[in-house]
Amino acid sequence: MLTQQKHKTQENSHKSFMYRITAGLVTAVLLTHASGCNLPIPFTDDKQLEDIIPGSGDDEKKRHRIDELTVPVGLNFMKVESVALVTNLEGTGSEPPTGLQRNLLTDDMKTHSVENTNELLASPNTSLVLVRSYLPPGVQKGDPIDVEVLTPSHSKTTSLRSGWLLKTRMREVTLINNSIHSAHVSALVEGPILPQSLFKGTGDPTFETRGVILGRGESRYSRPLGLAVRPDFKSVKTSTRIAGAINQRFHKFGTSKRVGIANPTRDNFIELELVNAYRRNVPRFLNVIQAINVGESQAERINRLQVLEAKLLEPTSAKNAALELEAIGKDSVRILMSGLQSSDPEVRFYSAEALAYMDIQEAATPLGAIAETHIEFRWYALNALSAMADMSALDALSGLLDSDSAETRYGAFRALYERSPDSPYIRGEGLSDFNFYSIPVKSRPMVHLSMSRRPEIVVFGGDIRIQPKDFLYASKQIMINPTADGQLRVSHFQPGKQDLFATCDTRVASLVKAIATVGGGYSDIVQCMNNAKSAGAINAEVFVGARPRPAWSYDRERSADNSTREFTNANPEVGSSDDSSGFIGSDPIAAIPEQGNALAPASAVEPEQEEVLTDQSYTPTFD
């Protein structure tokens, strides 16, 4: 009897213990769901995972690359658009005809409490326009974007020159059953329009009715990045293991502890936080993430490192090997450092690029040298240098400011600005609606005018002068005359207003400031430089949009002889990246969109489709 009672007591005790465990697990699951399915990631190895989530078979313990288990989400460009109103035209506007676009505009104007809308739209100084932009992957709320502006096909507007776009809300727009459907406001834009004719001449009348607003658009939300778990691997365990592997490689430091960048929000999705070093190269960030291995033992990693070392030193496999080594992290530094000693430029470049994103100082010098000599790797090398915090990158980039190549020189300037806008190498000043920079260099003098991200003028060289024989126009209202004492007189004639005048010496820096003093803006400066170039009145080359682009493929067969190297243009839309393009040769509107502004080429716009605001088929590429 005592024995039976003892067994019964033990059985009850065991049941009570199991009940408490079961209740605890149920409570944990309920709490997880109640908190929005944000799964904690305390796991650091498979053993811990096995202890907490039992039942893992041998197949689940196998090593997998993340790209075998997932697909990236958020790498597409997101098109946003709207109809809008341009004011301040000089009698070149027109009244929009009755139709969908006019109705959309008037409805929007009413939300801003605009009165007398029909009167305003009938004015020859206003015009209805279409605006659009592309929000790039990883864009954050508040980031500046460029916005393209164009008139509809039926518009009688003849020019957008001098126009000002009123504040406009931009959204994703879709056409369903001949009806426009739009999402929440994704971007805002307002500002002066730069017509295409400023950069491409006036040979085509449509150049006057298409333009761009530089850097004055603003993203209104942050676009998420993530990984979708493939259906065959969908489970809480899989998403948690993937997040754990990512957080072993990438993390940040919070207020009191190390925090990972990956969060498994669902059993089939891992949310990613963009690492700052990859902010200007989001595709590389996702490529590195997907090259991480899950469930790899120490012995397997050692063996894989040996294989990758051999692959890195072979030019045909160096690119993928370097990416995998970058995904491994600090354990791969020694191997990547050995790649820097290779005689092959591909091996050196891919090794240095991977090291740069890990902020290893030895990467800077070879990247600087490759950016100077190899056009195919230039964009990637400059991006990698801009991602480095080490001072060696600053030295490499500042050295490239003296390059003979216009795109290398300006590309280095941009990389320095992205890396540290307050760097003493590129300190500038704000004038009117643009920024002005003067960079002392020893090589040939050059003036560069921006056509993306922000309106800016960069003068390379201190003694660049404009000396017109007679006069120059900066616009219809701003004229520049030489004086008897060798100075320049800038006159701004404004109908119905007081005329403004300024006198300066012949240096470009002085003239730019004088034009801004009398009320001129960036479009006037661009026109002035264009006219000075055409008249032979400036003692320097003038370039527009001479920035590196990722549009070249490497010709391995000719790499041994740099002087006879040939390049293959991988994108026929992009004009020659050679420095012979001069002032008009570069076509920034038709160039690859840059990451950060994502301006689409003009060829993508088909305004004849009146019901759809802009063409839906175009997908920008990274720049």
Helices (H) and strands (E) in the chain, counts: 19, 26
Region label for 502, one of left (φ > 0), alpha (ψ between -120 and 50) or beta (otherwise): beta
CA distances to 374, 376, 483, 562 from 556, in Å: 12, 11, 57, 11
Region label for 510, one of left (φ > 0), alpha (ψ between -120 and 50) or beta (otherwise): alpha
3-class DSSP state of 534: helix
Which amino acid belongs to residue 339? Answer: G
Integer distance in angstroms from the first to the last C-alpha of the chain?
A: 84
∠ CA(353), CA(358), CA(360), 5° rounding? 80
CA distances to 352, 360, 368, 380 from 412, in Å: 17, 19, 9, 12
Instruction: Give the span between the Cα atoms of 110 and 479, in whole angstroms.
Output: 40
3-class DSSP state of 227: strand
Instruction: Give the span between the Cα atoms of 137 and 105, in whole angstroms.
Output: 29
Q: Which residue stretches of 35-64 are H helix?
A: 46-52
User: Are the C-beta atoms of residues 224 and 240 closer than 8 Å to each other?
Assistant: no
Instruction: Give the span between the Cα atoms of 378 and 372, in whole angstroms.
Output: 7
Q: What's residue 200's pLDDT?
A: 81
Q: What's residue 524's pLDDT?
A: 93
Task: List the one residue out of 179, 153, 154 whose CA is nearest residue 97.
Answer: 154
- The single-letter DSSP state of residue 460 is E
| Strands (E) located in 419-486 | 428-431, 434-439, 446-449, 456-460, 472-473, 478-482
Sign for the pseudo-dihedral over CA of 350, 355, 359, 364: negative
Our CA dihedral for 104, 106, 110, 114, rounded to 10 degrees, sits at 140
Three-state helix/strand/coil letters over 413-427: HHHHHHHCCCCHHHC
**CB neighbours of 51 closer than 8 A, spacing ≥ 6?**
none
User: Are the C-beta atoms of residues 447 and 414 closer than 8 Å to each other?
Assistant: no
The tokens of 516 are what?
Answer: 């801004």
Q: What's residue 611's pLDDT?
A: 30
Task: List the one residue out of 417, 384, 197 whose CA is nearest residue 280.
Answer: 384
User: Are the C-beta atoms of residues 121 and 204 closer than 8 Å to each other?
Assistant: no
Q: Indicate the helix (H) or strand (E) that contains 200.
A: helix 197-200
3-class DSSP state of 270: strand
**How confident is the chain (623 residues) per 10-residue block, as mean pLDDT?**
47 46 39 39 42 41 84 93 93 91 89 86 94 94 95 92 93 77 87 90 85 94 94 93 94 76 94 93 95 93 95 95 96 96 95 96 96 93 94 93 92 92 85 92 91 93 89 91 93 90 94 94 93 91 88 67 35 32 28 34 31 36 34
Which amino acid belongs to residue 623? Answer: D
Task: List the one residue out of 174, 193, 301, 283 whose CA is nearest residue 245.
Answer: 301
Q: What's residue 53's pLDDT?
A: 37
User: Are the C-beta atoms of residues 193 and 165 closer than 8 Å to each other?
Assistant: yes
Instruction: Give the span between the Cα atoms of 376 and 551, in whole angstroms.
Output: 7
Instruction: Give the span between the Cα atoms of 43 and 38, in whole angstroms.
Output: 14
CA distances to 299, 478, 499 from 494, in Å: 78, 9, 6
Boundaries of every domain in the chain: 36-74+224-278, 78-223
Q: What's residue 252's pLDDT?
A: 80
